[in-house]
A and B are shown apart, each in its own frame.
Chain A
Amino acid sequence: MAGIPVIDREKCQGCGLCVSVCTCGVLVLIDGKATFVKREGCNICTNWCTLCESVCPNEAISCAFDIVFEDS
């Protein structure tokens, strides 16, 4: 599923750092694991800022890029 960062639930330790830095406010802790929730009227992860990925101490979130040519 492109467009949403991938959370590895085994690596996630529920520290909540990603929740505190998420610029869209779509990350919450559910049952001690970081989870994306859809808010009314917006897409999950509007910005792809990748802050959640950079702040996670366990490398549990991954924000991968598709690299494409403009004319394709």
Chain B
Amino acid sequence: MSVQAEFIKSIPYFSGLGQAELDSIRGVVFEKKADRGEMLLFEGEPAETLCFVVAGAVKVFKTSADGKEQILHIIRPGDSFNDVPVFSGGANLANAEAMGAVVLNMIKKSDLEVILRKYPQVALNIIQVLSQRVQHLVSMVEDLSFRNVTGRVAKILLEYAGDGAGEKPRLTQQEMAAMVGTAREMVGRSLKTLEGEGKIRLDHHRIVITNREALREMAGVTL
């Protein structure tokens, strides 16, 4: 159950800190492991700990009254979740579930406050991380408001395409649907449409992006 020093140094929150500072932070960080499907946080419960993903992926999502799921983020190694309620003193904003076997590092809210007072650099890092989070959410609002389903699916495919080395989580059609705010069947249809247009190729359990530029155009990605 040891917390790795190398990992703490790599977290954006703690970048730019010296060894002594990192060592004192390591003293208040504890590890937790979870299996696929295990719930890590429940929406509405008081926020007691800040969580960082060390290995694996965590799904942060909200569910509607009639059971529809909307994924807000997929948290990958190095990133944190539950930041906003820990800092603003409220309840968890969303649910968090392990997408596969995960290893987490956690800090209690009270210990985090001590760290923030001692090391102002951490506060500056946190501001930067939260600003990126805001950018991501604004982009998501833009997608849900302005883009059609196939365009949104195209954007997800571009975001999640890896080099096959297994660094990004594998996605089911249901997960893609929860991320783009549509039904599973629509994702299936969008994938078939994109394949028919020659932008992707469905190769068994792999979605191969064959025409990156055309897919970017479809996704409305201009950068």
A interface list, Cβ under 8 A from B:
2-3, 8, 45, 47-48, 50, 53-54, 59, 62-70, 72
- The residue that A65 contacts in the complex, of B163, B164, B201, B207, with Cβ under 8 A, is B207
Contacts of B168 in A (CB 8 A): 67
- The residue that A64 contacts in the complex, of B164, B170, B212, with Cβ under 8 A, is B170
Interface of B is mostly: mixed
Of chain A, the residue at the smallest CB distance from B37 is A8
- Shortest CB distance B218–A (Å): 15
| Given A50-B173, A54-B184, residue A67 in contact with residue B163 (CB < 8 A) | no
Inter-chain contact A63/B209, CB cutoff 8 Å: no
Of chain B, the residue at the smallest CB distance from A71 is B212
Contacts of B169 in A (CB 8 A): 64
| Given A8-B37, A54-B184, A65-B205, residue A72 in contact with residue B164 (CB < 8 A) | yes
Inter-chain contact B208/A53, CB cutoff 8 Å: no
Contacts of B212 in A (CB 8 A): 69-70
A-B complex: 7 closest residue pairs judged by Cβ atoms: A64-B170, A72-B163, A48-B204, A66-B206, A67-B161, A67-B207, A67-B160
- Give the CA-CA distance A70 to B201 in the complex, in Å: 9
B131 interface contact, C-beta 8 A: no
Inter-chain contact B164/A3, CB cutoff 8 Å: no
- Shortest CB distance B42–A (Å): 19
Contacts of A50 in B (CB 8 A): 173, 188
- Give the CA-CA distance A11 to B169 in the complex, in Å: 22
- Give the CA-CA distance A67 to B153 in the complex, in Å: 12
Inter-chain contact A3/B205, CB cutoff 8 Å: yes
